[in-house]
Amino acid sequence: MHTFTETWQRSFPTATSGSHLFAEFEERARAAAAEVFRCATLTEAREALLRLVEGAGVTKAVVVESPLQLAAGVTEALRARGVEVYTAPAEIAEHAPTADIGISGVEFGVAETGSVFQEGYAIATRLVTILPPLHVVFLPSANIVPDVPQAFEIIAKNFDRGYLGFITGPSRTGDIERVLTIGVHGPGRFAIIACDEAPQGGTR
């Protein structure tokens, strides 16, 4: 019944999209206070995450695996560093409120807005993206669509049911004196690790 993740790539507008839009995507994402790390290889992507983890003093992580993360061996590398890592839904439910970091994969980015698109039907995905103070996503850097209407070309063909969303930078508010303040209910830090190398030679 739930097929978005299985089918969406067939609708990816390859003619108009691709890594040539990455620079624009990166600029917009940074403007929305996202941190962006572009990596040529899976190894670099793993290293980028480990540096983030080190810098933030992470001891506990909740993780939902994406093909890119699996190929980069992210979870094992975290455990090897002594970080507590939880990947099963029941563990995530228990530990997400106190974890230092949530890690997940996203389907594609939108150059116009610097947003990433994530299919989030699984409860585990939504918990890791919203509860910890730092959220890191893995994105194949070729998966950038030019704009919101193009994103909806994909969505319209594949969204029968489920929980889909765009994430654009960290959680924010301007509700007190219109002063932009980061990290209200969701993560105060949002990082995108974009990788040029695809898992198993394909584009995801």
Partner 1 sequence: MKAEKRKLRKEISEKLKDKTLRGALGRFAEVYPEARAAAYANAGDVETLREAVKQMKIATVGQIEAVADRFEAAATKRGVQVFRAEDGESAKAYLLKLCKETGVERIVKSKSMASEEIHLNPYLEAAGITVTETDLGEWIVALAHERPSHMVIPAIHMNRHQVAEHFSKELKKEIPPDIAVMVQVARKELREKFLQADMGISGANFLIAENGAVGLVTNEGNARMVTTLPRIQVAIVGYEKLIPTIKDAATILKVLPRNATCQLMTSYTTMVSGPTPAMVKRDGKWVEEQKEMHVILLDNGRLRAAKDERFREIFQCVRCASCLNVCPVYTLIGGHVYGHIYAGGIGAILTAFLHGMEEFAQFHELCIGCRRCTTICPGKIDIPGLIEELRVRKVKDKGLPFLLKQTFENVIANRKLFHSLLRLAARGQKPFQEGKLIRHLPLFFAGLAKDRSLPAIAEEPLRDRVAKVKRKIANPDKRVAFFGGCTMDFVFPETGESVFKVLQDLNIEVLYPEGQSCCGKPVLAMGDEETMKRIARENIKALEEANPDAIVSACPTCTESLQHYRELLKDDPEWGPKAAAMAKKVREFCSLVAEEYEKHGRLKKKAGGLRVTYHDSCHMKRVLGIDKEPRQLLEAAGCELVEMKDADKCCGMSGIFGVKYAELSMPILSQKIANIEETGAEIAACACSGCMVQIQGGLDKKLPGVKMKHVADILAEKIGEKKIA
Binding site for partner 1 (CB under 8 A): 28, 32, 89-90, 92-94, 97, 110, 112-115, 121-123, 126-127, 129-130, 148-149, 151-153, 155-156, 159-179, 181, 183-187
The DSSP result for 188-202, as a single string, is SEEEEEEESSPGGGS
- Assigned token pair, 11: 């609708």
Interatomic CA distance for residues 51 and 37, integer angstroms: 11
Interatomic CA distance for residues 105 and 72, integer angstroms: 12
Nearest-approach distance from CB 71 to partner 1, in angstroms: 27
In the complex with partner 1, the residue whose CB is nearer, 140 or 186, is 186
In the complex with partner 1, the residue whose CB is nearer, 72 or 194, is 194
- The DSSP bridge pattern shows strands 181-182 and 172-173 to be antiparallel
β partners of residue 36: 192
Nearest-approach distance from CB 66 to partner 1, in angstroms: 19
In the complex with partner 1, the residue whose CB is nearer, 40 or 123, is 123
Nearest-approach distance from CB 201 to partner 1, in angstroms: 32
Nearest-approach distance from CB 145 to partner 1, in angstroms: 12
CA 43, 49, 51, 53 torsion-angle sign:
negative
